[in-house]
Chain A
Amino acid sequence: MIRYALGRMLAGIPVLWVVATLTFALLRFLPGGPFDKERSLPPEIMRNLERRYALDGTLGEQYVDYLVRLAHGDLGPSYKYVGRDVADILADSVPVSLALGAAAFALAVVGGIGLGLAAGARRDTAVDRAVALGSLVGVSAPSFVIGAGLILVFGLGLGWLPAGLWEGPLYAVLPACTLAALPMAYAAQLTRAQVVAVMDQDYVRTARALGVPEARVRRRHVLRNALLAVMTYFGPLLAILLTGSFVVEKIFAVPGMGRFFVTAVTNRDYPLVLGVTLVYAVLVVVANLIVDLAYAWLDPRIRVGNTER
């Protein structure tokens, strides 16, 4: 298991390196640098600026310098927030996005699997149809539709929950629900399909025929296989949630990374854009690693040997 974990971790490093190199290339070649275009600056100030933005030296030297800085967690200075480093700017917002993403993930996993199990076990009843309809809406409605709807109903109509800001745990409810809607719907559909499939498989029927109690049959075989199938989807999902969803953070005025990303793109603040991209890439790699490990733990066939998945 340890060897497997290490192996997966090492596999993530080349990905990060590619992302870092790509961002370096883009940063150097995209238009809109930090220098004033019309006001000509005295040479000493120009030299200072160049040093500050690491634009002195050859391209090779700059690249090595860039990688070294990255290894230390220095994402460089922002072009537009003069005097502030990208790492500073992100430091406050990453935990917020993580918290929101985690809340949405928990909701999606628990809610989705729960609904899927309920629907699969009560196939073709009203419950099943309700879940089917609900999940169809969930995958067909963009997050701003769901967000706007929730604000109107729970924020204004009933007045139960705040429509924005991030001042306490209650403020996370509406954004997390909005963020979790699509994955929850998808998870419910997947789980239900798995439940139906597994319950039809021979060994379950056999177990039932042999008189093994219903609950045990369900729990052991159905849940585990259903979970396994659904987890293949949850890997990329976790990463998307962790990024906080730009739309949700914008609508609900949540001070997370996604909001910075959108503003940075509009403002052409490329170091910030690319800093966010790198942070996301790291989160994706870590998320995939966690899912791979969880998958391996659940499915013993993978633990043995070093199958290339």
Chain B
Amino acid sequence: MTARGKIGAELVLSLALLALAGDRIAGYRFDAQDTAHALETPSRAHWFGCDALGRDLLARLCEGGRVSLVVAVGATALALAFGLVYGALAGWIGGRVDALLMRGVDVIYALPDVLVTVLLIEVLSAALAGLPDLWRRLAALALALGFAGFVGVARLVRALVLQAREETWVEAARASGAHPARILVRHVLPNIAAPLLVSAAFRIPAAILSESTLSFIGLGIQPPFSSWGTLASDGFEAMRSYPHLILFPCVAILCSLLGFHLLGEELRERLDPRDRP
């Protein structure tokens, strides 16, 4: 593995650990307010300092990272799932079904994705009213971002399935009368797993980016819950006097995106030789 791949993998693994551990790493609860320590710069007691309400920033970063990663991974998983089914159907069945499905994709592709995402978040938040607050917002975000991403996956899957259909062993399997679903699952899917994995590796950072941007402008995660985007937004307000408040969330976002990009590049070179220029 190249140096690039190693760095990327290390970053991603650290993030996964962060997501699992949450605010336990910091020793403080993410929502514990302690006005006496408000706006403290990094110190022995609070490694990353505190925000305006005296909440430990490291704890909030860990908890926020959890939220950001859950949304990103959820959105990617949903995008992959939708896209896989959609693209496989289009590619395998072909003909009019394919044409119709692809028309749909074209229309969705033409819509500006940020807007669709924002509107979907609003509609879904209202529709999912039964869930507890945080889960409602997380689900809405994951679904909306997943919807925004599934088109690319669908196109990719369709192209791959079309390609696979021409392979001789698939022809043979069909000729032998095997059920098409069985062929799809047993033979076609394992072969397209590699490009899909590469796609996932690039979708996750895109989702983190989208979610943190939405949260920064106030349309994503709502208080009291935090993601890196909301932390950056809070930090922006006090940027002049307390730069540590915006510095750490930005570094966190940067590192996570960098990590996934590097890992993605590495995976792409190793798993997806077709993409060589």
Interfacial residues, chain A to chain B (CB-CB below 8 A): 12, 14-15, 18-19, 26, 30-31, 136-137, 139-145, 148, 151-152, 156, 193-194, 196-197, 239-240, 243, 246-247, 250-251, 261-262, 265-266, 268, 273, 276-277, 280-281, 284-285, 288
**Interface residue from B112, B123, B126, B233 paired with A239 (Cβ < 8 Å):** B112
- Whether the Cβ atoms of B107 and A15 lie closer than 8 Å is yes
- Whether the Cβ atoms of B112 and A197 lie closer than 8 Å is no
Q: Given A136-B261, A141-B257, are A277 and B219 neighbors across the interface (CB < 8 Å)?
A: no
- Whether the Cβ atoms of A240 and B257 lie closer than 8 Å is no
- Whether the Cβ atoms of A140 and B110 lie closer than 8 Å is no
B147 contacts partner chain A, Cβ-Cβ < 8 Å: no
Of B106, B115, B213, the most chain A CB neighbours within 10 A belong to B115
B9 contacts partner chain A, Cβ-Cβ < 8 Å: no
**Interface residue from B107, B126, B209, B277 paired with A18 (Cβ < 8 Å):** B107
Q: Once the chains are docked, how many angstroms separate the CA of A197 from the CA of B275?
A: 12
- Whether the Cβ atoms of A26 and B119 lie closer than 8 Å is yes
Given A142-B253, A152-B243, A261-B118, 20 other A-B residues pairs in contact with their CB atoms under 8 A: A19-B111, A30-B122, A30-B126, A137-B258, A139-B261, A142-B216, A144-B232, A144-B236, A148-B236, A148-B239, A193-B277, A239-B112, A243-B112, A247-B216, A262-B217, A262-B219, A268-B122, A277-B119, A280-B115, A281-B112
Of A194, A196, A250, the most chain B CB neighbours within 10 A belong to A250
- Whether the Cβ atoms of B110 and A277 lie closer than 8 Å is no
- B89 shortest CB reach to chain A, Å: 21
Q: Given A152-B239, A266-B218, A281-B110, are A140 and B254 neighbors across the interface (CB < 8 Å)?
A: yes
- Whether the Cβ atoms of A266 and B219 lie closer than 8 Å is yes
- B228 shortest CB reach to chain A, Å: 9
Q: Once the chains are docked, how many angstroms separate the CA of A144 from the CA of B277?
A: 33
Q: Once the chains are docked, how many angstroms separate the CA of A240 from the CA of B243?
A: 30
Q: Once the chains are docked, how many angstroms separate the CA of A160 from the CA of B255?
A: 30
Q: Once the chains are docked, how many angstroms separate the CA of A30 from the CA of B106?
A: 26
Q: Once the chains are docked, how many angstroms separate the CA of A140 from the CA of B256?
A: 8
Closest B residue to A249 using CB positions: B217
Q: List 18 A-B contacts (CB under 8 A).
A: A12-B110, A18-B107, A139-B257, A140-B254, A141-B254, A142-B212, A142-B253, A144-B213, A144-B236, A145-B253, A148-B236, A151-B239, A152-B239, A246-B213, A268-B122, A277-B119, A281-B111, A284-B112
**Interface residue from A15, A142, A284 paired with B209 (Cβ < 8 Å):** A142
- Whether the Cβ atoms of B240 and A265 lie closer than 8 Å is no
Residues in B whose Cβ lies below 8 Å from that of A151:
239
**Interface residue from A143, A246, A273, A281 paired with B119 (Cβ < 8 Å):** A273
Q: Once the chains are docked, how many angstroms separate the CA of A261 from the CA of B219?
A: 11
- B193 shortest CB reach to chain A, Å: 25
- Whether the Cβ atoms of A26 and B123 lie closer than 8 Å is yes
- Whether the Cβ atoms of A136 and B253 lie closer than 8 Å is no
The 0/1 profile, CB within 8 Å of A marked 1, for residues 181-222 of chain B is 000000000000000000000000100010011001111000
B53 contacts partner chain A, Cβ-Cβ < 8 Å: no
Of A30, A145, A156, the most chain B CB neighbours within 10 A belong to A145
Q: Once the chains are docked, how many angstroms separate the CA of A262 from the CA of B217?
A: 7
Closest B residue to A280 using CB positions: B112
- Whether the Cβ atoms of A196 and B119 lie closer than 8 Å is no
Q: Once the chains are docked, how many angstroms separate the CA of A265 from the CA of B212?
A: 17
Residues in A whose Cβ lies below 8 Å from that of B110:
12, 15, 281, 284-285, 288
- A102 shortest CB reach to chain B, Å: 17
Q: Given A18-B107, A266-B219, are A246 and B114 neighbors across the interface (CB < 8 Å)?
A: yes
- B213 shortest CB reach to chain A, Å: 6
The 0/1 profile, CB within 8 Å of A marked 1, for residues 224-240 of chain B is 00000100110010011
Going nearest first, the 7 A-B pairs with the smallest beta carbon separation are A140-B257, A197-B277, A15-B110, A145-B250, A280-B112, A140-B258, A277-B115
Q: Once the chains are docked, how many angstroms separate the CA of A276 from the CA of B219?
A: 16
B246 contacts partner chain A, Cβ-Cβ < 8 Å: yes
Q: Once the chains are docked, how many angstroms separate the CA of A141 from the CA of B205?
A: 10
Residues in A whose Cβ lies below 8 Å from that of B243:
152
- B159 shortest CB reach to chain A, Å: 15
- Whether the Cβ atoms of A251 and B236 lie closer than 8 Å is yes
Residues in B whose Cβ lies below 8 Å from that of A18:
107
Q: Once the chains are docked, how many angstroms separate the CA of A37 from the CA of B106?
A: 40
- Whether the Cβ atoms of A136 and B217 lie closer than 8 Å is no
Near A by CB (< 8 A), chain B positions 62-116 give 106-107, 110-112, 114-115
- Whether the Cβ atoms of A262 and B218 lie closer than 8 Å is yes
Closest A residue to B253 using CB positions: A142
- B202 shortest CB reach to chain A, Å: 10
Q: Given A197-B277, A276-B115, A277-B115, are A144 and B216 neighbors across the interface (CB < 8 Å)?
A: yes
Q: Once the chains are docked, how many angstroms separate the CA of A96 from the CA of B253?
A: 30
Q: Given A143-B213, A145-B253, A262-B217, are A240 and B112 neighbors across the interface (CB < 8 Å)?
A: yes
Of A18, A140, A243, the most chain B CB neighbours within 10 A belong to A140
- Whether the Cβ atoms of A277 and B112 lie closer than 8 Å is yes
Q: Once the chains are docked, how many angstroms separate the CA of A170 from the CA of B258?
A: 32
The 0/1 profile, CB within 8 Å of A marked 1, for residues 261-277 of chain B is 10000000000000001
Q: Given A141-B254, A193-B277, A266-B218, are A30 and B112 neighbors across the interface (CB < 8 Å)?
A: no
